[in-house]
Amino acid sequence: MTFSTGFLGILIYGSLVWCAISAIGLSAFLVKDLVRGEVW
Amino acid sequence: MSEADALLPPNVGWALLAAFSLLWIGLGVYWGRRNKSFEDHALAGRNIGLALGTATAAATWITSNTTMLAPQFALQLGVWGMLAYSTASFGLLLFAPMAGRIRALMPHGYTSGDFFRLRYGRGAWGIFLVFTLFYSLTWLVSMAMAGGILLNALSGIPYAWGMTVILGVCVAYTMRGGLAAVIGTDFIQSLIIIVGIVIVGFAVLSHVSIAEIHANLSAERPALLDMLFPAAIMAIFNNLLFGLGEVFHNNVWWSRAFAYRDGVGGKAFALGGLVWFPVLIAAGFIALASGALNVAVPASDMVGPLVVAQVLGEAGAVAIFVIVFCSLASSIDSLLAATSDLLTEDIYRRMFRPAATPARLKSMAQYVTLALGVFTWAVCLPRIGTLASVLFFAGPLVGAMIWPIVTGLYWRRANSAGAVGGMLLGAGAGLACYFAIGFYVGALVATAVSMVWVLACARLSKSRFDWAKLKETA
């Protein structure tokens, strides 16, 4: 039994998109904290 | 490695190194201006918000091992190898609820050593300090050494110079800015690493399709696609337990639990784990593409940079250089800060100068950071080789500390006999199996033996711990 092309595609593209969303999310959190004066 | 073999010309490497060094030191000096006491320096005023808290949890866990070893793992253990390494994120996810409880139980705490001293007494505290300092110093030395080796391989910068610069820069901004500088730079470094990995990943996929990668692996290295690859499945459990032990005990994570604003710790660690989880796969798959791209890989630990540089040219090599530099800095600075806090709070203050003023403790922490930097530099200078095996040697030590910490945080009946016995018996059995069987069972056996002893002692115990004892104020 081997991992299929479809599974490999979902794994790789999924992780890259997940990383991109993480970067956007971190930036959004920072803006939100800055607006509220809660960065540190 | 000679300059001719490097992926970048040395002058480009030096220019990048200088630019980022100036940026980190400048930010460290700027952010350090507000630090007046040891609490400001060591815990950034205990007021870190969600954005910086999430980023620093993820960035500290993204070491050079993450960005360099992930492709190597993928090349050796295939798809399961990438997934196995990703399980280290479970350490952050499972630490999330503990971080909230630590903050609630110890509102005035500074270090994980404080917890052992107050919860289990001086015997367990001493054992904990020996174990954690061995682990932390080994990790620190291995990161600094990796810095010199990687900068040399990527740009031809001589090992001694590369190691000295990266260590010196981290010492400078950590000394000046304390945890605030570490966490602030971690935010920028985490964004650079994640965005860099996304750009490099999509750029590689523009040169080769998933179908081509799969076809090449099926023909040339089918084991890497095997769903029942035994060695890779074993690696999942070993990585998982090693990761749990590392996060649960180390002051790198405890200092953040103390530094986050009330209510932030749990969310920040959980989100940090989620941010970290895909990084290994996104960085690791590049190695699986090496065959389809016809990239020769003379050394498996350089497979990631080789593939990126060959496919994307000098721009790719610059991206890898920056990603690796940020990965190294985000871990070295955290280790310097957390280990210096541990030595200042647990050794200097608790053993020798209980009446030291906050300002005196702050300057002592800065001197200790400098001393740690000098010690690390002196150990790394001869380039004795890789310390990976020594780091794995620490696996049984950290595995043996999981149960004393978890039960000590949640069970009133957990006691000193359980903690001391669990750590010593677990570490002893784990080390015996490490030498008799192999590195991959050390943490597993240590955790299991420690668990049996700690649970048995708690079951038989008649004492009940008073949680108020953890609220020590000075």
Residues of A numbered 2-21 whose beta carbons fall under 8 angstroms of chain B's beta carbons: which are they? 2-5, 8-9, 11-16, 18-20
- Burial class, B308, CB count within 10 angstroms (exposed 0-12 / middle 13-18 / buried 19+): buried
Contacts of A34 (CB under 8 A, 6+ apart): none
Answer yes or no: do A19 and B197 touch at CB < 8 A: yes
pLDDT for position B388? 60
Which one has a higher pLDDT value, A22 or B74? A22
What is the spatial distance between Cα B302 and Cα B286, in angstroms, rounded to a whole number?
11
Q: Taking residues B424-447, report their average pLDDT.
A: 89
Among B34, B214, B227, B271, most A C-beta atoms within 10 A, so best to mutate, is B214
Q: Which residues is B48 bridged to in the sheet?
A: B260
> Averaged over B184-209, what is the pLDDT?
91
Q: What percent of chain B has a predicted confidence (pLDDT) above 90?
A: 59
Residue B354 main-chain phi, psi, to 5 deg = -65, -20
Best residue of A15, A30, A38 to probe chain B, by most B CBs closer than 10 Å: A15
The residues near B354 (Cβ < 8 Å, ≥ 6 apart) are: none
Band (B85; pLDDT cuts 50, 70, 90): confident
Helices (H), ranges, B87-158: 89-105, 112-120, 122-155
Residues B289, B279: Cα–Cα separation, whole Å = 17
For the stretch B328-343, pLDDT in tens is: 888 899 999 999 999 9
Q: Is residue A9 classed as helix, strand or coil in its secondary structure? A: helix
Look up residue B224 and give its DSSP letter.
G
Q: What is the model's pLDDT at position B78?
A: 86
pLDDT in tens, B214-271: 999 999 888 888 888 776 676 677 778 778 888 998 999 999 999 999 999 999 999 9
Report whether B403 contacts B249 (CB < 8 A): no
Greater model confidence, B87 or B19:
B19
- Map tokens 């400098």 to a residue: B370
* Cα B57 to Cα B118: distance, rounded to the nearest angstrom: 26
Residue B357 is encoded by which pair of tokens?
Answer: 């003023």
Mean pLDDT of B444-471: 94
- Asked if A26 lies within 8 A of B55 by C-beta distance, the reply is yes
* Rounded Cα gap, residues A22 and B224, in angstroms: 28
User: Residue A21's closest chain B neighbor by CA?
Assistant: B275
Q: What average pLDDT does chain B have?
A: 89
The pLDDT tens digits for B88-135 are 888 899 999 999 999 999 999 999 999 999 999 999 999 999 999 999
Chain A interface includes B197 (CB < 8 A): yes
- pLDDT score of B361: 94
Residue B422, φ and ψ in degrees, nearest 5: -60, -45
More confident site: B16 or B238: B16
Per-residue pLDDT, B63: 67
Q: What string of DSSP letters covers B45-69?
A: GG-B-HHHHHHHHHHHH--HIIIII
Query: Measured between alpha carbons, how far is B176 from B256 in angstroms, rounded to an integer?
Result: 18
**Whole-number pLDDT of residue B244:** 85
Position of tokens 């991206």?
B319
DSSP B299: S
- Average pLDDT (A4-20) is 95
| pLDDT (0 to 100) of residue B441 | 80
Contacts of A25 in chain B (CB under 8 A): 271, 275
Instruction: Please report the ipTM that was assigned to this predicted complex.
Output: 0.95
| Angle B28-B68-B332 from CA coordinates, rounded to 5° | 25
- pLDDT band at B469; cut points 50, 70, 90: very high
Return the pLDDT at B65: 63
- Give the gap in angstroms from C-alpha A38 to the nearest C-alpha of chain B: 6
CB-based contact A22 B183, cutoff 8 Å:
no
Mean pLDDT of all residues in B52-59: 92
Residue B192 has pLDDT above 60, yes or no: yes
Chain A residues lying within 8 Å of B51, measured CB to CB: 26, 29-30, 32-33, 39
Nearest CA of chain A to the CA of B205: how many Å?
A: 9
Which residues between 42 and 61 in chain B have a beta carbon less than 8 angstroms from any beta carbon of chain A?
Answer: 44-45, 47-52, 54-55, 58
Phi-psi map region of B21: left, alpha, beta (phi>0 left; psi -120 to 50 alpha): alpha
Residue A13, CB half-sphere, CA atoms under 13 Å: how many?
11
Per-residue pLDDT, B4: 59
DSSP class of residue B417 equals H
Please judge whether B210 and A3 are an interchain contact, meaning their C-beta atoms are less than 8 angstroms apart: no
Domains recognised in chain B with CATH numbers: 3-387 (1.20.1730.10), 394-474 (no CATH)
B473: which 2 tokens? Answer: 């104020």
How high is the pLDDT of residue B64? 61
Axis-axis angle for helices A5-36, B265-276 (nearest 10): 150
CA distance B173 to B177: 6
- Pick from B72, B52, B7: nearest CA to B297: B72
Tens digit of pLDDT for each residue in B336-363? 999 999 999 999 999 999 999 999 999 9
Q: Of B28, B1, B52, which is closest to residue B171 (Cα–Cα)?
A: B28
Chain A hits for B218, CB-CB cut-off 8 Å, are: 2
Query: The tokens of B51 are what?
Result: 């954005």
pLDDT for B1 beyond 70 = no
Query: What integer pLDDT is reported at residue B106 of this predicted model?
Result: 95
Q: What is the number of other CB atoms lying within 10 angstroms of the CB of residue B99?
A: 26
3-class secondary structure for B319-388? HHHHHHHHHHHHHHHHHHHHHHHHHHHHHHHHHHCCCCCHHHHHHHHHHHHHHHHHHHHHHHCCCCCCCH
